[in-house]
Every structure is written in structure tokens, then in C-alpha cells.
Amino acid sequence: MEGFPQSPESGEIVKKEEVIQAYKKFVEQGIKNPGDLDLDDPEVQKANELFNKWREQEDASSEGDEELSYRNNLVQTMLYVDVGFTDRGYLEEVLREWLVSDAQNAEKQRDNPERVKTRQDIVSAMKKIRGILGQSDIES
């Protein structure tokens, strides 16, 4: 398993980039939807373990901080998009359900610069997915 991140020990910090790299090989093999990953494949299991450890550590680091929690949720929502999964149905679900939910949860607070930034980042994520969907229309 050359180039594949080892399962982290309990005290190690898992970085987002490590999780992305753990899943990229599946995209390179032609898998377009994270729902199509073979859960019996030991490499998928290791990638999922790494993802879960990263997610747990991110959730713990944002506990008690509402703004950080919103931002963390956005990063988690976009992880598989950042990996490169491009299945149209999956991307539409992220766009129309998850990101809309993120935006609704992070209600506007014009007097809160951090919230304004969070909402701008959500809008940027929506634009990114629309761009990917637009490219897939061209490639079809």
C-alpha cells in the first residue's frame, strides 16, 4: 500500500489533505460517487477510518464555538467534492440539500464579520459545484 496513509495512532492529528489523498486513488480508478466505494475493500475501510478520525477531531475542536462549528461543517460537506468525486447526482445532492442546509443554519448576521465570511464561503462552495456540473454538461 505504497503512498497510502497509515492508520493514525490515537494521539496523532489527522490533516484534511491526508484524508483527501486517502480517497483520491479511488477517483483515479474511475469511481465518481463516494456511495459507490466498496465497503469491504480494506483500503476503503482505512480511508473511512482516517476520515472518521479527522471528522471527530474537527468536531471536538469546534465544540462550543458556533461559528467554527458552521465552518467545520462546510469543510466536511465539501470533502468528497475536494477529493474529486464528480457524480452528477451526488453533486446535486451536496448543492441542493447539504449546502442549502449549511446556509440556512448559518443565518445572516450582517454585524458579525465571521458569519458574513462563513456565508460567503458557502456561496463559493455552491459556485464551485455549479462549475463542476456545468463542465460535466459540456463533457457529456
**Which pLDDT belongs to residue 75?**
95
Domain-wise residue ranges, the chain: 16-139
User: How far apart (Å, rounded) are the C-alpha atoms in residues 86 and 62?
Assistant: 29
> Taking residues 48-74, what's their average pLDDT?
94
**C-alpha grid cell, residue 130:** 455549479
pTM, full prediction: 0.82
**140 confidence band (pLDDT: 50, 70, 90):** very low
Is residue 7 helix, strand or coil? coil
41 phi and psi, to 5 degrees? -75, 125
User: How far apart (Å, rounded) are the C-alpha atoms in residues 101 and 60?
Assistant: 21
pLDDT in tens, 82-123: 999 999 999 999 999 999 988 888 888 888 899 999 999 999
